[in-house]
Amino acid sequence: MNKKVVLQDLGVKDYKKTWDYQEFLFKGIVDSKIKNRREGTSLETPNYFLFVEHPHVYTLGKSGDINNLLIDEAKLKEKKATFYNINRGGDITYHGPGQIVGYPILDLDNFFTDIHKYLRFLEEMVILTLAEYGLKAERSEGETGVWLDVGTPFARKICAMGVRASRWVTMHGFALNVNSDLGYFDLMIPCGIKDKAVTSLNVELAQTKVDLQEVKQKLLRHFESLFEAQLIKEKALI
């Protein structure tokens, strides 16, 4: 099993370009697995972890409800935001400046073949990272992602998740609000869940800005530990 994971930080990148790049990497892994099975070989399959920060964009998962986007096309343009229907699970999500988006593109045959466990590990990575900032983050039963003050009237989401998997290969991932403009969340019903708030790390810490690179390093350290992975940094190809 290949537990090496190629880490690429794409910086600020258009959503569609990043999605196409994800699909390219995803297809390469799937094709390798099909070839191995067809030819009876056992060549190693690669794994990737992409970091990216997107310009303002709303994405709707394949089981989502378009009515959870509360603005029309004209308002999207006014807010300098784009919209895409995409092929992950989940409902509507916002990505934008100040948010850390992570796309692990892993062959789970290299780790464990359990999507439920995979999602719980991604949540745990974020929970452990937030604990380093003195925040008690939790899961909310039946609601994928990471929350604060679960079970109280003040429950608020700080990290959204939505993945796609085929032949045990994953894509899409998580979006952690670090220095996010929370006003953009008011223009949708986040993940289709009404009457629950959204927050950001800088708001919780009462800071103007939190160092994004510092948060990324904490996330990666916990990712390596949970997945027993070895990260190898490479320059992005896009």
Beta-strand ranges (E) seen in 13-98 are 48-53, 57-60, 82-85, 92-95
Is 89 annotated to bind a ligand? Reply is: yes
Q: Judging by DSSP bridges, how do beta strands 197-198 and 156-166 pair with one another? A: parallel
> 96, 103, 81: which is closest to 22 by C-alpha?
103
Is 96 annotated to bind a ligand? Reply is: no
Is 175 annotated to bind a ligand? Reply is: yes
Is 90 annotated to bind a ligand? Reply is: yes
Is 129 annotated to bind a ligand? Reply is: no
Is 174 annotated to bind a ligand? Reply is: yes
> 110, 140, 106, 135: which is closest to 123 by C-alpha?
140
Q: From CA 107, how far away is CA 2, in angstroms rounded? A: 9
Is 116 annotated to bind a ligand? Reply is: no
Question: Which strands form 82-85's sheet, in the order they lie side by side?
Answer: 82-85, 57-60, 92-95
Is 161 annotated to bind a ligand? Reply is: yes
Is 95 annotated to bind a ligand? Reply is: yes
Write down the catalytic residue from 191, 201, 220, 229: 191
Respond yes or no: is residue 159 known to be catalytic: no
Query: How many residues in total does the chain contain?
Result: 238
* 30, 57 Cβ separation under 8 angstroms: no
Binding-site residue ranges: 88-95, 160-162, 173-175
Binding-site residue ranges for substrate: 88-95, 160-162, 173-175
List the catalytic residues: 191
